[in-house]
């Protein structure tokens, strides 16, 4: 059959917008490993766990929680790695679910992804100022004893400061993606090396510093930025913190924080069509990065717990920063920086390196979102213009612009505390993970030819390994859902407005799919034809 006949049959519009995406396979194993490691975000993971677990989950084990979270995330990451190897296409679980379970479920799931990816473009854009710039400038203010630098540090905690810093980031990364995906990955890998060195140095400082030395240096640091005398003791007294024995239930509830980190080793699935040697890169880059990040977080938490003490971390995290004469609670990089704040080279290394951790969710989620729009457009569920890929830069320029606007809206909503909070959307997001895990269970049976032709057609005792891993992922993800429902601080049970939003996202996804299908049917295009085939590369 000729190319024309293959694309159109008896005057029927072709199945896909075109016969190739226009994207190129140029991403290596290292690119994918760093991409997924960044999306777990060692720096922010350690920050949230040290800042919140001892203070607000009495008796919870930070180290135990991280290890359990890593185990829960492992089957989930491996499931996505199986799919990314078997169906190496752009679009992630939209492709997996729509081709295995149903087009409607595939679209709803990816619509859910797009909503929360957009939210987590805005939130890390905010973190850049809220946690990164504010910590860096407070370290510099302590070093130079400069009140102007201290005021500048405080500015990045304000809604305007958060919005300005985040907007700059969104524009910068949108421009980089427009110029070429590979350019971003070169920047990513260099920044990752520097950021890793920074947290390693911070961890080494914590490991080598006694608790007595830390307390003296912390008190000195707080005084240097205009705070109170004897800050560590003031934190103890003002926080009302009390020692608690180990509590297994509180440890279970506190899993929300490490899970917020390690569940996201899977986003390279959305750029699967651009990955060289997909099986090797995705397996190393997904479950491999979960193990890597879990080990790093455990080592860093152990070092800081040794330096500050579990109770000391609890007192600092629970204390009102105003009681210390501060505008915001010190981050873990400041705890290390307090020890070495007289050394400009070290505080620049630690502060700038941590700054590079604060924003990395933004470009990752930005890139994944554009591939969702591209995949929808290819299947004719969205306007064809969204699938436009520049022949010069091989980038989807229109999709990049649309995602940038969505991220900017979410940044504003977060900065001014209008709707969004950091973690409360995770419950709804995990529903998409569960759908993918269910699709993995049935994929070897419902798409037998594609499974047998894939590089992951492994079996144990006659059962597909992919199905076994998918079942383990469903079980582990249901446990995660219990955590994100019950947690007293971020659990969905305690946020009726986010419950409405979560359900509304799925309803909206179904409506958008129905509208798109109806409109295309009236134009003589039956989009169901696309879902019988694997999308082109």
Q: Tell how far CA 16 is from the center of its chain.
A: 30
Is 8 within the bounds of a domain?
no
Is 10 within the bounds of a domain?
no
Which distant-in-sequence residues (6+ apart) come within 8 Å of 413 by Cβ? 122, 419, 420
φ and ψ at 136, to 5 degrees?
A: -60, -45
Write the DSSP string, 472-509. HHHHHHHHHHHHHHH-TTT-GGG-HHHHHHHHHHHHHH
CB 357 within 8 A of CB 188: no
**C-alpha span between 318 and 457 (Å, rounded):** 51
Asked whether residue 463 carries a pLDDT value surpassing 80, the answer given is: yes
Angle of helix 29-40 relative to helix 278-285, nearest 10 degrees, comes to: 30
The model carries a pTM of: 0.94
The predicted model gives 408-416 an average pLDDT of 91
Alpha-helix runs per DSSP H in 309-396: 310-318, 332-339, 344-358, 361-378
Asked whether residue 126 carries a pLDDT value surpassing 70, the answer given is: yes
**C-alpha span between 39 and 262 (Å, rounded):** 8
**C-alpha span between 236 and 8 (Å, rounded):** 73
CB 434 within 8 A of CB 257: no
**C-alpha span between 157 and 193 (Å, rounded):** 27
Is 125 within the bounds of a domain?
yes
**C-alpha span between 427 and 421 (Å, rounded):** 13
Tokens of 369: 């979102």
User: ∠134-151-416 over CA atoms, to 5°?
Assistant: 60
Structural domain boundaries, residue 101: 26-526+528-532
CB 256 within 8 A of CB 491: yes
Is 18 within the bounds of a domain?
no
Tokens of 230: 């004897």
Q: Any idea what the CATH number is for the domain that residue 441 is in?
A: 1.20.1740.10
Is 196 within the bounds of a domain?
yes
The SS3 call for residue 422 is coil
Average pLDDT, the chain: 93
Tokens of 107: 């679209």
Task: Say how many domains are in the chain.
Answer: 1
Place of tokens 């809206």: 409
φ and ψ at 390, to 5 degrees?
A: -60, 130
φ and ψ at 426, to 5 degrees?
A: -70, -35
φ and ψ at 330, to 5 degrees?
A: -60, 140
Is 537 within the bounds of a domain?
no
**C-alpha span between 267 and 349 (Å, rounded):** 29
Per-residue model confidence (pLDDT) at position 227: 96
Per-residue model confidence (pLDDT) at position 268: 97
pLDDT bucket at 532, cuts 50 / 70 / 90: confident
**C-alpha span between 335 and 46 (Å, rounded):** 12
Per-residue model confidence (pLDDT) at position 424: 72
pLDDT bucket at 124, cuts 50 / 70 / 90: confident
Is 236 within the bounds of a domain?
yes
**pLDDT tens profile 208-245:** 999 999 999 999 999 999 999 999 999 999 999 999 99
User: ∠130-363-402 over CA atoms, to 5°?
Assistant: 105
Which distant-in-sequence residues (6+ apart) come within 8 Å of 450 by Cβ? 86, 87, 443, 534
Strand partners, 90: 271
Number of Cβ within a 10 Å radius of residue 309: 15
Length of the chain: 537
What's the DSSP call for residue 90? B
pLDDT bucket at 270, cuts 50 / 70 / 90: very high
**C-alpha span between 267 and 23 (Å, rounded):** 17
Is 11 within the bounds of a domain?
no
CB 313 within 8 A of CB 47: no
């Amino acid at each position: 059959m000729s190319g024309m006949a293959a694309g159109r049959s008896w005057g029927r519009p072709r199945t896909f917008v075109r016969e190739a995406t226009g994207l190129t396979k140029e991403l290596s194993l290292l690119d994918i490993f760093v991409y997924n490691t960044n999306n777990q975000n060692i720096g922010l993971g350690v920050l949230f766990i040290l800042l919140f677990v001892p203070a607000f989950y009495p008796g919870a084990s930070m180290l135990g929680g991280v290890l359990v979270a890593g185990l829960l995330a492992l089957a989930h990451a491996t499931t996505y790695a199986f799919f990314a190897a078997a169906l190496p296409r752009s679009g992630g679980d939209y492709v997996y679910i729509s081709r295995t379970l149903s087009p409607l479920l595939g679209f709803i799931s990816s619509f859910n992804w797009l909503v929360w990816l957009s939210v987590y473009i805005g939130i890390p854009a905010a973190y850049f100022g809220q946690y990164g710039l504010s910590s860096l400038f407070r370290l510099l203010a302590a070093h130079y004893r400069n009140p102007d630098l201290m005021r500048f540090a405080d500015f990045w905690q304000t809604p305007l400061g958060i919005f300005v810093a985040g907007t700059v980031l969104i524009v910068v990364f949108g421009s980089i993606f427009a110029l070429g995906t590979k350019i971003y990955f070169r920047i990513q890998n260099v920044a990752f090396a520097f950021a890793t060195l920074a947290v390693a140095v911070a961890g080494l400082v914590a490991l080598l510093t006694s608790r007595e030395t830390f307390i003296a240096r912390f008190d000195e640091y707080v005084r240097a930025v205009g705070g109170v005398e004897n800050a560590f003791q003031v934190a103890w007294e003002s926080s009302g913190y009390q020692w608690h024995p180990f509590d297994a239930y509180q440890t279970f509830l506190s899993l929300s924080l490490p899970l917020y980190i390690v569940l996201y080793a899977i986003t390279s699935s959305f750029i699967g069509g651009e990955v060289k040697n997909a099986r090797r890169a995705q397996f190393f880059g997904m479950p491999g990065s979960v193990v890597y990040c879990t080990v790093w977080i455990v080592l860093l938490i152990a070092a800081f717990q040794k330096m500050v003490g579990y109770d000391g971390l609890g007192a600092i995290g629970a204390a009102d920063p105003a009681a210390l004469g501060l505008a915001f609670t010190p981050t873990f990089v400041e705890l290390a920086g307090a020890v070495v704040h007289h050394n400009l080279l070290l505080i620049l290394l630690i502060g700038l390196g941590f700054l590079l951790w604060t924003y990395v969710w933004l470009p990752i989620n930005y890139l994944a979102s554009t591939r969702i729009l591209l995949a929808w457009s290819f299947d004719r569920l969205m306007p064809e213009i969204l699938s436009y890929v520049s022949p010069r830069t091989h980038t989807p320029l229109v999709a990049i612009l649309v995602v940038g606007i969505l991220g900017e809206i979410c940044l504003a909503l977060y900065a001014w505390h209008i709707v969004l909070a950091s973690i409360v959307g995770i419950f709804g997001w995990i529903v998409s993970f569960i759908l993918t895990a269910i699709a993995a269970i049935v994929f070897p049976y419902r798409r037998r030819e594609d499974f047998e032709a894939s590089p992951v057609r492994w079996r144990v005792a006659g059962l597909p390994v992919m199905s076994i891993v998918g079942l383990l992922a469903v079980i582990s993800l249901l446990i995660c859902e219990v955590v994100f429902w019950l947690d007293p601080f971020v659990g969905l049970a305690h946020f009726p407005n986010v419950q409405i939003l979560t359900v509304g996202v799925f309803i909206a996804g179904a409506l958008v799919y129905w509208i798109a299908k109806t409109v295309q049917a009236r134009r003589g295009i039956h989009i169901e034809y696309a879902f019988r085939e694997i999308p082109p590369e």
